[in-house]
Structure 1
Amino acid sequence: MGTWNGLAKEMKELLDLDSSIVSVKRLEDKEGLKNIAGIEKPAGPFTYCQLPYLVRKQGKTIGITKDDATPLAEKMQLRYRCLRVQGLAPADDKQLEHEAKGFAGFWFNDIETARESMKAYPKPSPIEGLALSPLEDEKYEPEYLLVYGNGAQMTLLMNGLQYFEYEQIQSYFTGEGSCADALPRCVETGKPSLCLPCVGERGFGLVNNDEMVIALPADRLQRTVDGLKALKKTGLAYPPAQLEAGMDVTPLFTAWYPIQD
Structure 2
Amino acid sequence: MPDTEPNETQRLLTELNALLRLKTTVIGMKLFETVAEMEAIPRIRRPKTKHTTDQIVSMASRLGWTVGITAADLVGAQCQAVIGLTPRDEAWRRGEKYVGVWHGTQQDAQARQEALTCVPHGRFQAMAVSPLDSGRLDPPDIAMVYATPGQMIILINGLQYRNYRKFEWSVVGETACADSWGRALATGEPSLSLPCFAERRYGGVPDEEMLMALKPADLRQAVDGMKALAKNGIRYPIPPYGIQNDPSAGMGISYGKS
Q: Under a length normalisation based on structure 1, what TM-score does the superposition of the two structures give? A: 0.90
What does residue 130 of structure 1 align with?
127
Instruction: After TM superposition, give the deviation of residue 177 of structure 1 in Å.
Output: 4.1
The counterpart of 2:106, out of the listed 89, 107, 111, is 111
Instruction: Give the match for residue 40 of structure 1.
Output: 45
- Counterparts of 1:151-230 in structure 2, within 5 Å, are 151-230=149-228
Q: Is 1:21 paired with 2:26?
A: yes
Amino acid paired to 1:192: P
Distance (Å, rounded) in 2 between the aligned partners of 1:102 and 1:41: 29
Give the superposition deviation at 1:176. 0.7
3-state SS of 2:129 partner: strand
RMSD: 1.7
Give deviations 1:200-255, integer Å, cap 9, x for gaps: 11111111111100111221121111111111111111111111112111122223
Q: Secondary structure at the match of 1:171?
A: coil
Correspondence for 1:101 among 85, 92, 96: 96
Q: What amino acid does structure 1 have at the position aligned with 2:128?
A: A
* Structure 1 unmatched runs, 5+: 73-78
Q: Secondary structure at the match of 2:10?
A: helix
Unaligned 5+ runs, structure 2: 1-6
How far has the Cα of 1:259 moved from its partner? 5.2
Give the whole-Å Cα distance in 2 for the aligned partners of 1:36 and 1:156.
33
Q: CA deviation at 1:168?
A: 2.2
Q: Does 1:50 align with 2:55?
A: yes
Instruction: Give the C-alpha shift of residue 68 in structure 1.
Output: 1.8
Whether contact under 8 Å (1:154, 1:212) holds in the other structure is yes
Task: Give the corresponding residue for 2:3.
Answer: none
What displacement does 1:197 show? Answer: 0.3
Would you say the 8 A contact 1:85–1:122 is kept in 2?
A: yes
Compute the displacement of 1:169 (Å).
2.1
- Measure, in 2, the Cα distance between the counterparts of 1:245 and 1:204: 39
Question: How high is the TM-score relative to the length of structure 2?
Answer: 0.91
